[in-house]
Amino acid sequence: MLKYIQKAAIWTGLTAGFVLSAGQAWAAGNTAAGAQLFQSQCAMCHATTPGMAGIGPSLAGVYGEPAASTAGYDFSPALKSAHLVWNVATLNKFLKSPQSTVPGTKMPYSGLPSVGQRADLIAYLVSLKGK
């Protein structure tokens, strides 16, 4: 029962976060579609195994954590000083245009333009567990 409540809370939070952050109607993302997106767009640099850094840090358990807090990775000064917490709103903005959101971030990625695809990817990131 608790598991269902947790899941409902996450999806409610996602939807609410999307609405609050963008002021428009957002649908909760599709985790499976997000996993596919992750493989094509992110996996070359990011692992999903805790503690396994590649070119970028592991994204296991990243959702809900302060930005630049993953152990074992040397983050850019820009991201360290951005004082972000990775929630729906911040991930949505960052994934849309990393260099616009945090100029000087080490993630040279042009961005994910589709609202729906960002929702899918965020849903997948939410599903990644930390330790």
Partner 1 sequence: MRNHLCLALPVALLAVLASTSVARSIPAFAAQTGEPCSACHIGFPQLTPYGREFKLEGYVAGGSVPGYKNFAAMSQAGFTYLHSKVPGGLAPEFPSNNAWSVQQTSVFYGGALYAPIGLGAFIQGTYDGVAHQFHWDNLDIRLARPTELADKPVFYGFTVNNAPSVTDLWNAPPAWGYPFIPDSLAVGNAAEQQISALAQSVLGVGSYAAVNVTLNDMVYSEVDLYRPLPNHTAYALGVGPEVSVAGVIPYWRFALQHSWSANSIEVGTLGLADNPYPAGFSQGPTDHLRDLGADAQFQWIKPNQAVSAQALFIHESQDWAASYPLGATQNLHDTLNTLTLTASWLGAQKFGVTESYNTVFGSRDKGLYAAAPVSGSANGSPLTNSLTSELDYYPWNEGGPAIFPWVNAKLFIENTTYLRFNGRARNYDGAGRSATANDILFTGIWLVF
> At its nearest, how many Å lie between partner 1 and the CB of residue 100?
5
The candidate with the shortest Cα–Cα distance to 64, out of 33, 82, 90, is 90
Nearer to partner 1, 10 or 53 (CB): 53
**Distance in Å, CB of 28 to partner 1, minimum:** 21
Output 64 or 104, the one with its CB closest to partner 1. Answer: 104
Provide, rounded to whole angstroms, the least separation between the CB of residue 83 and partner 1. 15
φ/ψ of residue 18, rounded to 5: -60, -45
3-state secondary structure of 66: strand
Least CB distance from residue 113 to partner 1, whole Å?
5
Q: Give me the residues that bind partner 1 (CB under 8 A), please.
A: 37, 39-41, 44-45, 54-55, 74-78, 97, 99-100, 103-114, 117
Judged by CB, which is closer to partner 1: 88, or 121?
Answer: 121
- CA of 119: how far to CAs of 69, 81, 126, in Å? 23, 26, 10
Cβ closest to partner 1, residue 21 vs residue 97: 97
φ, ψ (nearest 5 deg) of residue 123: -60, -40
Secondary structure (3-state) at 85: strand
Other Cβ atoms less than 10 A from the Cβ of 90: the count is 17
